[in-house]
Structure 1
Amino acid sequence: MNSDKIIENNKNYWNEHADLWFGTTALPVYGVRFPTEDDLHLFGDVTGKKMLEICCGSGHSLKYNAEKGAGELWGVDLSQKQLDNAAKLLKDNGYSAKLICSKMEDELDVPRDYFDYVYSIYGIGWTTDLQGTFDKIASYLKKDGIFIFSWHHTLNYCVAWSCDERKEVFEDEKLVMTKSYYDESYFKMPVHDSEIVLCNRKISTYINALAKAGFMVEQLVEESDDKSLNATGGVDPKTKKAKMLPISFCIKARKL
């Protein structure tokens, strides 16, 4: 499947299922079983800042930054249905943003060397051109501008329980490698009544692409939230997995 077909497949999924994901995985949440912005403070004071969100989804992260006093908000998403939901959410709450329906792989119709922050909450991993996307994001940011993004941790797709997760007893079960960490090929994943197409990239692939695009990584967070780490007793399999390996990760980088 080539990149155009992958993008079209995923675009169709989001246009058809946007309402099912309304308000999920948005700031202050960075990802599944992961510390929040309230814990990490990666953004700091955004008062008056110009901010661009890649894969803005239903607009909840834009709303979050609007409530924090951001000066100018822009959002990009592949799905027009997502943008329609975002526009309504923001309008209903007295906010607005410049919303653009576009692939993140394209040259966006946004100013260059303009934004204080570009960010993506569980969205950047959808790109079919990681290096090109990072290069473009760097061009949108001012010097010393900040790029923050989160995504599924690579290990989460490589490790699974050696049993059916629907079982109630896991005391004797083990996590096993089911996929090579080095395998960055695209794969299909059934979701709802459809399927999405993703690529499970190594952490080093993200770091090296950032460096090539002219970023300096200031912080890499790959840990589980305190609630999962401190859970005791007969915890569910997803929590037990989160106690043993990161489910999500987040990177904060600065444009040099």
Structure 2
Amino acid sequence: MDKQRIHETNGIYWDTRGNEFLKAIVLPQYGAFVSEEKHQLFGDVTGLKMLEIGCGNGQSLQYHGERQAAELWGVDISEKQLEKAAQRLAAGCGLEAVLLCSPMEEECGIPASYFDIVYSIYAIGWTTDLEGTFARIASYLRTDGVFIFSWSHPIHRCIVQDDGQYVFRKSYFDEKWHPVSPDYVQGELILADRKLSDYINALAKAGFVIEQMIEESDGDILQMSDDSDDLAGRAAMFPVTFVLKARKL
């Protein structure tokens, strides 16, 4: 695995293509068919110091700013996305955030033992060093601070539709890095598919205790979906998104 190549390839993608088309992966959505409105993992954020890992164009930061978070911080690999985030926050409701351009795995000047909540909406899976990233996140949090993140469910990544049936296209245990080209936009990304146990064990090693895991699809959102939506059909059969909430000991 060439970390520099992965960072460069993925950074170019987000710089040139952006993530504005990814409507379901900014709060109040954790990803496809899972919402904060239903699960209330954050609760009241009034007066809290919050850091987003992989903040993209700032929509989730804005969500918390509008709910009276005291401080907003964000880190992202794409300078272009951070520019969009700053513009969105200023134009939307006069919010400000400390925005840092860096891979999430690397030291970038984020203060230690400072934040009440660190969160990541569909970004944590891009890390090239899961254990190292979780250790860094633990260092950013005060004792008893909360870490919430969502990502594509590993089972979802393994299954394809074939002649009206869902079948495994690859092994659940295959964690090799590979190029992916999303169907809905041109460009290339490099990604590895991890097991749920990788995330859980990395959290434990970094000193977190898991408080809640969500992998069920929201039935109310499913009912509002178009019958021809393949993703909704998948979400009715198996999880496509998972969310973990953990607390620093």
TM-score (ref. length: structure 2): 0.94
Q: Which amino acid aligns with 2:158?
A: C
* CA–CA distance in structure 1, aligned partners of residues 20 and 55 of structure 2: 15
* Residues in 2 aligned to 1:231 and 1:90: alpha-carbon distance in whole angstroms: 30
- The aligned runs of 1:78-157 (5 Å cut-off) are 78-92=77-91, 93-157=93-157
Match for 1:211: what amino acid?
Answer: A
CA, structure 1 residues 176+67, in 2 after alignment: closer, same or farther (shift >3 Å)? same
CA distance in structure 1 between the partners assigned to 2:149 and 2:243 by the alignment:
6
Say which SS state the counterpart of residue 21 (structure 1) adopts: coil
Contact 2:179 2:191 in 1 (8 A): yes
Contact persistence 1:22–1:58 (CA under 8 A): no
Is 1:195 matched with 2:188?
yes
Relative to structure 1, the CA distance from residue 95 to residue 182 in structure 2 (aligned partners, 3 Å threshold; closer, same or farther) is: same
Q: Deviations over 1:99-124 (max 9, x none)?
A: 00111010130110110000000010
The answer as to whether partners of 1:23 and 1:60 remain within 8 angstroms in 2 is no
Where structure 1 has 5 or more consecutive residues not aligned to the other structure, the ranges are 164-172
Change (3 A) 1:19 1:26: closer
State TM-score, norm by structure 1.
Answer: 0.92
Letter in 1 for 2:166: L
Q: How far apart are the structure 1 equivalents of 2:202 and 2:73?
A: 24
- Does the CA-based 8 Å contact 1:29-1:36 persist in structure 2? yes
Amino acid at match of 2:194: R
TM-aligned CA distance change 1:20 to 1:119, over 3 Å: closer
1:89 is displaced (CA, Å) by: 0.4
Unaligned segments of structure 2, at least 5 residues: none
Establish whether residue 159 from structure 1 lines up as the match of residue 159 from structure 2: yes
- The answer for the alignment partner of 1:43 in structure 2 is 42
> Whose radius of gyration is greater, 1 or 2?
1
1:173-229 Cα shifts (integer Å, max 9, x gaps): 211011100111111111322110111100010000000000000001001121355
Task: Give a deviation string over 1:112-165, Cα, whole Å, max 9, x none.
Answer: 0110000000010000000000000000000000000000000111011113xx
Q: SS of the counterpart of 1:38?
A: helix
Do the aligned partners of 2:51 and 2:115 also contact (CA within 8 Å) in 1?
yes
Aligned residues: 246
8 Å CA contact 1:31, 1:121 repeated in 2: yes
Contact 1:155 1:247 in 2 (8 A): yes
Q: Percent identity?
A: 50
Whichever residue aligns with residue 188 of structure 1, its letter is P
Single out whichever of 3-12 and 206-215 deviates more from structure 2: 3-12
Per mean C-alpha deviation after superposition, the further-off stretch among 141-150 and 236-245 is 236-245
Partner of 1:28: 28
Residue 197 (structure 2) pairs with residue 204 (structure 1): yes
Kept in 1: contact 2:77–2:103 (CA 8 A): yes
Q: Which amino acid aligns with 1:174?
A: Q
Confirm whether residue 174 of structure 1 aligns to residue 174 of structure 2.
Answer: no
Distance 2:240 2:38 in 1: 17
Alpha-carbon distance in 2 for matches of 1:26, 1:215: 24
Is residue 2:240 matched to residue 1:221? no
Q: Distance in 2 between matches of 1:216 and 1:128?
A: 23
Partner Cα separation in structure 2 for residue 160 and residue 19 of structure 1 = 24
Contact 1:228/1:240 (CA < 8 Å) preserved in 2? Answer: no
Query: 2:7 maps to what in 1?
Result: 7
Give the aligned partner of residue 254 of structure 1: 247
